[in-house]
Copies of this chain bind each other. A is one copy, B any other.
Amino acid sequence: MASLKRLLVGSPIRTARLAHERLSKKTALAIFASDALSSTAYATEQILLVLAAAYLAGGANAFARVVPISIAISLLLVIVAISYRQTIFAYPSGGGAFIVAKDNLGTLAGLIAGASLLVDYILTVSVSIAAGVEAITSAMVGTRFAGLHEHRIWLCLFFIAFITVANLRGVREAGALFAAPSYAFIFSFLCLIGYGLIRYYLNPGLTVPVNDADLKIAEGYHPEPLHLFLLLGAFANGCAALTGIEAISNGIQAFKQPESKNAATTLSWMALLLITMFLGASVLAYFFKVHPREHETVISQIARVVFNGHLTWFYYVVQATTPAILVLAANTSFAGFPRLASLLARDRFLPRQLANLGDRLVFSNGIIILAVLSGVLVWAFSGDTSRLIPLYAVGVFLSFTLSQAGMVVHWWREGKALRVMRSAAADSAPITRTESSAAPPTRLSGSFEVRRLSAQTPQSLAEVSRLERTSHWRKSLVINGIGAIATCVVLIVFVATKFIHGAWVVVVLIPLLVLMFLKIHRHYVEVAHQLSTEGLGQLRPIHHQVIVPISGIHRGVITALEYAKSIAPHHVTAVYVNLDDEVTRKLREKWQQWGSGVNLVVVASPYRSLARPLLNYVDRMKRSAPNEVITIVLPEFVPAKWWQNLLHNQNTLFLKGALLFKKGVVVTNVPYHLEH
């Protein structure tokens, strides 16, 4: 097993190398932006799937609404991206929704954001992998591999396993592995859009062949006229395009220095690419009059018609790079989920094992948990993107909203701190520390030094004025305020339109997760309290009683007796369970020679159990000497070969398990190593 692990994951990496595991902007774009960019592979289709309800109800022109809806989503995207740029500078050490909400809105808000993001990460993996596999099976339509569609769950699980192993190897190697296909996708998708527009310009009558026998409609929708609620549903579905936009702000620490600047630049590039590709795909879908189909994705249909005839090979390039980036999108979560889980674990809201760096300097436990949960989800939803979409985006927009609202409070506090500084400077009186304690204690580093300064000596008026000029806190507050309101509205729209289609699962799950966080936290606090050395004096002396359970007289038992006598020379009792009177009589005789004066107690066992009479004896001794520590010295064979364990009773193991729960009882194993 150990060597298999090494082969897959690689050799351990020294802690000292931690600082070097950073990403360049180009690699970071491949890793962090792949989630957002890859959603262009399915976002347009998700809009069309809802519009199909109106089309089937006779709205011949229904699919044309994809363009205004996409423009609305793009505007929302611009707002969110600008909002997150501010967060990146205000929280250079990593400003995920969890941290921002916790710092500014309190722990509960932080936990809600954390729960939303964890759910979102799991869904990102499931949705992306499912969509990637759909791109592959779409390319197989009309070939002799068309049956691959039936095996999509296995393909999904294979890809999840593949990403898991890549991530267990460590973040930098994962980046190198993924950068090339990411850029290949961006390039081929831009080519698709560019060449598609040219072809449409040259031949405006070009459309995708329509066969409505195969028309697909969004999960849970039925033919109905095109009213506002349906449009909002289509808009909500399309908002899947925004998922993943926060990944960069969560992982600023993975960037090369200067982290914030590099991260912000990467975010802008990502937003630009995303809007271009998403809008481009929606416009082409409109131009070519694409209908969503059961066995082929919208992008595949567009690519087929654009590259039909003379550039057919490029169709396959598009279809090959699409699953590639979707797999990378899943990979985004493999960077984000373990990081967030480790933050929660460090604050003692999740098991502490999640806070440990594995031997390849990655949070191995988080990676494995994510892989298992997303695999289960893919399996439960048969790897069908359109069935997973209603669960998606609740978590995303909830965390967006909390994060932006947190930033509003952040800027408000900054403005307040400046006012206090100005009045202090005017009075030349010292700033009281009470005032500054309103700011959270650890995360002081904003886009500039207001917080740090406000907690120190009073500043000169000139200094305060300089800070006020460079602060722009009012502008920032307005920007994040708009972001918060916009994302909150979308969240409400999403829950309202998708609740019965699956969003309720997430609405129920998030509070449950928060409750779990709180329960875990309470346990750790309680343990820390119980283990505290507060009020303890010096080490106290211990009074021993030693019990040696014996199964006969042999070298293993004699070694154990020797050990027991060395601990408490005059307080050793050997205990034997009588299963056969004759055997017991012989043992008593032999004891004269080998017992070395140790007291031998024989206990009865009417039900042939070995453990029960021993445990009862321990209880009796415990009652008669409540203040003494009882040590059970267990003789234990250690066979030379593993299979030999099968040939020996596992009584020792069972006894150890049962004794663990008795207070004041210490278990000592004296092994006797067998040879051959």
A interface list, Cβ under 8 A from B: 12-16, 351-353, 356-357, 359, 520, 523-524, 526-527, 530-533, 536, 538-542, 544, 553-556, 558, 561-563, 565-567, 579, 594, 596, 605-609, 629, 631, 636-638, 644, 646-649, 656, 660-661, 663, 665-676
Contact = CB atoms under 8 A, between A and B. Distances in A.
Contacts of A596: 538-539
Contacts of A553: 533
B562 A542 contact: yes
A352 B649 CA distance: 7
Contacts of A646: 351
Given A351-B647, A558-B536, A14 B606 contact: yes
Contacts of A671: 660, 663, 665-666
B594 A566 contact: no
A671 B664 CA distance: 8
Nearest to A12: B607
Contacts of A667: 668-669
Contacts of A15: 579, 605-608
A514 to B, nearest CB: 17
A558 B530 contact: no
B536 A563 contact: no
B14 A607 contact: yes
The 6 closest A-B pairs by CB, nearest first: A531-B554, A542-B566, A668-B668, A12-B607, A539-B596, A351-B647
B555 A539 contact: no
* Most central of A524, A527, A636, A669 by chain B CB within 10 Å: A527
Contact of A647 (B12, B352, B531): B352
B527 A539 contact: no
A665 B670 CA distance: 8
A665 B636 CA distance: 12
Nearest to A612: B12
Contact of A555 (B523, B533, B561, B562): B533
A6 to B, nearest CB: 13
A495 to B, nearest CB: 31
A527 B675 CA distance: 8
How many identical subunits does the complex contain?
2
Contacts of A638: 660-661
Nearest to A556: B531
B566 A523 contact: no
A660 B352 CA distance: 26
Contacts of A606: 14-16
A666 B669 contact: yes
5 contacts: A356-B608, A524-B647, A531-B554, A533-B558, A667-B669
A649 B353 contact: yes
B523 A644 contact: yes
B527 A637 contact: yes
A667 to B, nearest CB: 5
B563 A608 contact: no
Given A660-B671, A668-B668, 12 more contacts: A356-B608, A359-B609, A523-B644, A526-B674, A533-B554, A533-B555, A533-B558, A538-B596, A567-B567, A631-B668, A636-B660, A667-B669
Given A608-B359, A660-B671, A565 B539 contact: yes
A61 B637 CA distance: 68
A665 B668 CA distance: 11
A657 B136 CA distance: 47
A524 B531 CA distance: 46
Contacts of A608: 15, 356-357, 359
A12 B612 CA distance: 12
A562 B663 CA distance: 16
Given A542-B562, A558-B533, A594-B533, A663 B673 contact: yes
Contacts of A565: 539, 542
Contacts of A636: 660
A649 B649 CA distance: 29
A566 B538 contact: no
Given A532-B555, A663-B673, A539 B561 contact: yes
Contacts of A526: 674-676
A631 to B, nearest CB: 8
A344 to B, nearest CB: 13
B530 A674 contact: yes
Contacts of A644: 523
